[in-house]
Structure 1
Amino acid sequence: MNNTGLPPLTWLRAFEAAARHLSFTLAAQELNLTQSAVSQHVRSLEAFLGRELFIRRTRALQLTEAGANYLPTLREAFDLLARGTRSFTGGDPGRTLLVQCNMAFSVFWLAPRLHRLYAAHPWLTLNISTAIWDPERTFHDAPVEIRLGRTGDMSQTALPLPPSTMYPVCAPDYQDDLIDLQTARLFDCSGMMGNWEYWCTATKTPFNMANTVNLASTYVVAMQAALHRAGICMSHDTLAADLVASGHLIRPFEGTAKLPEAYFLMAPARHDETPASRAFVDWLQSEFAKMHNNP
């Protein structure tokens, strides 16, 4: 306890996150605490205030009238604290954003569209961090992350972006005559469920299991190999659509399959948003919507 008449900040953060999610479990994931710690922080705050903030039901929370009345005041206080901190630290961090995404997404999707982002938001400064493996070690430093993975591996606060369609691609002049999948050199990104075997099974395409697939730790390497006529790369439309549309790559076979993995957006909680993060997230979602509405 302190002598300021205010409860500890940890109690307030636990209540705000639990109220936003209506879940102690999701609040715990966001705050990197245990569910029991969040629950105890909220109970301590309730004892401090002398009234209950939640109605606790099986598998669900509901704000009491007191909790619903207290929440807007708390959110306004967090917003004011965030604005004051940004002002105190100098400059305007609200105009600069660190985004983390994998190398292939950065190279093939994000970078070619940055001119549209800056045309819409010329005041924005974007710093892009890429990670090939183990992004969990670094993503906490980035307010916004775009991650490729499976639904079951993502937190419940991760927002799924429209799904991708997978298919093989190669250079227009690879194997001047008819392309033969059984003799072609194949490339793929390691660690993906959406691989050559998956595509062949989904499209009922005969696949020679003796045909070794050349693996790279990022699609950047595998797709560059295809661009330079080394072979055929398994890819998906989020990465390959622009290159196919420009004629730098072609789709030698018609079959497609839904990519088992998907891109997910991790965006800041509402009280942590800045003008930069709001502008980027809105732009990103708009770009994905345009891409999937106009294939």
Structure 2
Amino acid sequence: MATPLPPLVWLRTFEACARHLSFARAADELGLTPAAVGQHIKALESHLGFMLFERLPRGVRLSTIGRAYFPIVATMLDDLTIATAGLFGGQNVAAVTVRCSVSFATLCLAPALPRFTALHPAIPVKIYSSIWSDDLEDSQIDIDVRFGNGRWEGFTATALTRAASIPVCPPRTDFGADPARALFDLASGSSIQIVGLDNLWVGLSRQLGWPDGAVVSRFTVDTSAIALELAASGTGCAMVSADLARLHLQRGLVSAPPGIVLHHDLTHYVLLPARGTRPSPETLRFRDWLLETFTGP
């Protein structure tokens, strides 16, 4: 016989304890006593037949099966929160504060945002752009979009865009029958480097079999948006995230050699705090919209 679904109140308590890794902080959030939280967890573990937490001299940590169960329960509660808010609404609609880079904000988020507004016209959105991801206090934001390898302490990160970059060149560049050779001639004379992404030209050079040191940066900038504008003006070639380059390519502002793509382990991620108060329904809706909009081929 299948194990009956545990009471929702036990699951809610488990999710809060797993998120805080503290029975006391979970009790504060839920308006319960620490003793009541402990009773809920003990009852849930007895119901399931597994220990979900390891009790330590100071605090707790999730057991192996507890770590596996946590995202399942968290997703279920997220879905329930969104569905309840969607069906029954509420008088107070919370604004969603989003932090992302200047490039992602201007090249990806801003063009797509009208679609979110059409779906959720009552939800205000605040966008704070920053070149470096620690310009604002984490407590001030609901959703963070960062470019990197997905490992940021204190956050849960979900990949948002492709981990691939492409060379972008001035518009109407003729790549001829040998795009790699044409790109080499351009990049060896006037390449653009983006601070923090120094290894992209190196990686592409090795992929295409170019000599080491053949691409020497003539210009250095600190955002992909500036690199794209320099390429659009005819100044040089830059290695840019394929998703950030899409708008300029669609508008014919830059060109890209066909079939040349550098795959790597860096991409945009949508981040939510791993600890603290549960996200609002509005935050969860915006996160889901981001994933639906930008995740894919």
Q: Tell me which interval the TM-score lies in, with the shorter structure as reference length.
A: 0.5 to 0.7
Q: Tell me if structure 1 keeps the 8 A contact 2:187–2:237.
A: no
Q: Residue 20 of structure 1 aligns with which residue?
A: 15
* Residue 264 (str. 1) matches residue 269 (str. 2): yes
For residues 158 and 20 of structure 2, what CA distance do their matches in structure 1 show? 16
Indicate how the Cα distance of structure 1 residues 172 and 140 shifts in structure 2: closer, same or farther if over 3 A, else same: same
Give the counterpart letter for 1:218 in structure 2. T
Contact 2:93 2:123 in 1 (8 A): no
Is the Cα–Cα contact under 8 Å of residues 161 and 243 in structure 2 kept in the other structure?
Answer: no
Alpha-carbon distance, 1:284 to partner: 1.0
Which residue number corresponds to residue 214 of structure 1?
A: 219
User: Cα distance, 1:216 vs. partner?
Assistant: 1.2
Give the counterpart of 1:255 among 246, 257, 260.
Answer: 260
The SS at the match of 2:256 is coil
Deviation (angstroms), 1:128: 0.7
> Which of 183, 192, 211 pairs up with 1:187?
192
TM-score of the pair, normalised by structure 1: 0.67
Q: 1:210 to 1:196 in 2, by over 3 A?
A: closer
Instruction: Give the equivalent residue in structure 2 for 1:60.
Output: 63
Q: Which amino acid aligns with 1:274?
A: S
CA RMSD of aligned residues (A): 3.9
How many pairs were matched up?
Answer: 244
Per the alignment, do residues 162 and 219 of structure 1 end up closer, same or farther by CA in structure 2, a change over 3 Å counting? closer
**Cα displacement (A) at 1:61:** 6.7
5 Å-filtered alignment, 1:1-295, equals 19-20=14-15, 23=18, 27=20, 38=22, 46-47=34-35, 51=39, 53-54=41-42, 55=51, 56-57=53-54, 60=63, 92-94=92-94, 96-135=95-134, 137-153=136-152, 155=154, 157-173=156-172, 180-181=185-186, 183-192=188-197, 194-206=199-211, 208-209=213-214, 211-252=216-257, 254-267=259-272, 272-289=278-295, 292-293=296-297
Matched residues in 1 for 2:112 and 2:259: separation? 27
Percent of paired sites with the same residue: 19
Are the aligned partners of 1:268 and 1:277 in contact in 2 as well (CA < 8 Å)?
Answer: no
**Contact 2:97–2:126 (CA under 8 A) maintained in structure 1:** yes
CA contact (8 A) 2:169 2:236 kept: yes
| Aligned 8 A contact 2:151 2:157 in 1 | no
Give distance in 2, aligned partners of 1:224 and 1:207: 27
Conservation of the 8 A alpha-carbon contact between 2:193 and 2:221: yes
The structural deviation recorded for 1:209 is 4.1
Using the TM superposition, give the Cα deviation of residue 131 of structure 1 relative to its aligned residue in structure 2, in angstroms: 1.1
8 Å CA contact 1:182–1:208 kept in 2: the answer is: no
- State the Cα distance separating 1:105 from its structure 2 match: 0.3
Alpha-carbon deviation of 1:49?
6.7
> Normalized against structure 2, the TM-score is what?
0.66
Does the 8 Å contact 2:164/2:267 carry over to 1? no
How far did residue 141 of structure 1 move?
0.7
Give 1:173 deviation, angstroms. Answer: 4.1
**Letter of the aligned partner of 1:60 in structure 2?**
S
Report the CA distance shift for 1:195/1:109 in structure 2 as closer, same or farther (over 3 A).
same
| Partner SS state of residue 282, structure 1 | helix
Deviation readout 1:82-105 (Å, 9 max, x if unpaired) = x9xxx9xxx8442x2211101100
TM-aligned CA deviation for residue 266 of structure 1: 1.6
Contact 1:161 / 1:264 at 8 angstroms: preserved in 2? yes
> For structure 1, which segment, 277-286 or 225-234, has the greater mean C-alpha deviation from structure 2 after superposition?
277-286
